[in-house]
Chain A
Amino acid sequence: MLTILIRAFIAAIFAGFLCGLMGVHITRLNLNTVAFSTAHAALAGAALAMFLGMEPSTIGLILAILTALFLGPLADLFHIPFDLFSMSLFSIYTAFAFIFISISPGGVISAQAVSSILWGSILTVTSGYTVFLSILFFLVLIYIIAFFPQLKSLLFDSKLAEAEGINVKAYKYSLMFLSGVTVSLILKLVGGFLVFSLLFIPAASAFLLSENIKLILCFSAILGSFSAVGGIFLSLLLDLPTGACIVLMATFILIISAVYAHFFGRLRK
């Protein structure tokens, strides 16, 4: 039990950091819907796997990664606004998930398995999962540090960045891909319904606390991590679903941030 808990807390720290970092980027670039479509791709993939009698999370992860990889290029190829395309995929994946769940043999058992994807569970956190999450964390960190001047320019104004010779499409696609992979991996811990909260609430808190993009990224990552770890504690203490407790913790931090910003203003340096 102790090993499971240690693994869960380590995974929560990485998950919080990842969500905090990606949340700021996708919020500034109006790519929020990438989280919805990839999370539901994972759900549809898991439902399909259950229908076929295969391992749900692997198929879910593969479909989510493929969605994150091709979402941007396909939207551009067909000249469809990104948000519209992303939300259409979200609906299609949801429909497929329900269809596969309803026609799966032993529907009740399937629904129980799906509920772990919807609500998340620390019991699903394995050593392999934690290693995978830590690798993704370091990849994202290296990516952000290596390309920070270009990313910063993109976060300020993507049209201006494009006019100055920055390959905006390449950066947007790579951010979409990293966000998609992050979301699909974190589903296990937080669940499909609540993964968005860990992505957006720490970012919202960080935007309230600072006027400096570097600080915002740091705050968002730290607050994301704090929300995830605190949420797991709360979940164990009150015997409530992990994902919901993580969201409650993130919301509590958001309220404190809003109160702080109201009375003391936002940090500039």
Chain B
Amino acid sequence: MVAQFASRGNLRNRVIELENVSTSYAGELKPAIKNISLEIRKGEIVLITGPNGAGKTTLLETILGLLKPYEGKIKLLGYEMPKDAIKARKYCGYLPQDFIKPAGEPFIVKDVVAMGFASIGKNANNGNILEALKKVKAVELLNKPIGRLSAGQQQKVLMARALARQPKILFLDEPFSSVDKEARHEICDILENLNRNENVTILIVSHITPKIEFDRIIKMKNGMVISC
């Protein structure tokens, strides 16, 4: 298995490597994902798809080290996960699933985008905040309270926050679930441009297939990869 694992692709180009990874949630005996081995190379756009409960989000969170696997090995950008998670995550952007903040949240858009810099040792200034918002076509939202924006607008702001970090890998969990068709097309364009111009690896978890030219589609069912 290890030999097969090592034979594929250029070693230096691998940004994500999983070897026989299984994860279960605390207090549950049944694994949420079972025996998953896969690798993703630099600059790929990969879709992870499957029905509800297939284990898509669990897989994404396991790769990021937010969930601890009970068996198997994970490497993210060469870092062993979850041991070196804090180091590896500094090079990643993340958009969580169903991220909607209610009205009254005490943060404006400018603050939210600036927070993206908190862990990478870079100073947040108006210039780089505006640049990130420009990429997602949301400059006009700069001083708006996050909780007063629509779900689609909030998605864009979080996308800007992820992009502001100049990530090597972008993890997007259901980025199209709460946005209309027009916003979906806009997000697809942004992602394709980012991949084309900055060679960012993009991993998208989605139960719908957006109009993006994917390098690979990983299909999951019952916690297992059924096609890759």
- A residues neighboring B (CB under 8 Å): 79, 149-150, 152-153, 156-157, 159-167, 207, 210-213, 216, 266, 268
Contacts and interface: CB of A to CB of B under 8 A. Distances in A.
Nearest to A169: B86
A150 B119 contact: yes
A213 B106 CA distance: 5
B176 interface: no
B89 A149 contact: no
Contacts of A79: 26-27
B118 A164 contact: yes
A163 B115 contact: no
B106 A210 contact: yes
Nearest to B162: A164
A149 B26 contact: no
Contacts of B108: 211-212, 268
B119 A152 contact: no
Given A152-B118, A160-B96, A165-B119, A207 B90 contact: no
Nearest to A215: B106
Interface in B99-122: 99, 101, 104-108, 111-112, 114-120
A259 B85 CA distance: 47
A207 B107 CA distance: 12
Given A79-B27, A157-B96, A164-B165, 12 more contacts: A152-B115, A152-B118, A153-B118, A161-B115, A161-B119, A163-B64, A164-B89, A166-B119, A210-B106, A211-B106, A212-B107, A212-B108
B87 interface: yes
Interface string B9-51: 0000000000000000011000000000000000000000000
Interface residues of B, number: 35
B86 A216 contact: no
B160 interface: no
B112 A156 contact: yes
Contact of A156 (B26, B88, B115, B145): B115
18 contacts: A79-B27, A149-B114, A149-B117, A152-B107, A156-B112, A156-B115, A157-B99, A163-B92, A163-B94, A164-B94, A164-B115, A164-B118, A165-B85, A165-B89, A165-B90, A165-B92, A165-B119, A211-B108
Contacts of B104: 211, 266
Interface of B: 26-27, 64, 66, 85-90, 92-94, 96, 99, 101, 104-108, 111-112, 114-120, 124, 145, 158, 165, 171
A213 B118 contact: no
Interface centre among A152, A160, A268 (most CB of B within 10 A): A160
Contact of A152 (B86, B87, B111): B111
B64 A149 contact: no
Contacts of B145: 211, 268
Given A163-B96, A165-B119, A167-B86, A149 B124 contact: yes
A166 B116 CA distance: 10
A266 B147 CA distance: 13
B26 A163 contact: no
A163 B89 contact: yes
A212 B165 contact: no
Nearest to A168: B86
Contacts of B124: 149
Interface centre among A79, A165, A207, A268 (most CB of B within 10 A): A165
Contacts of B114: 149
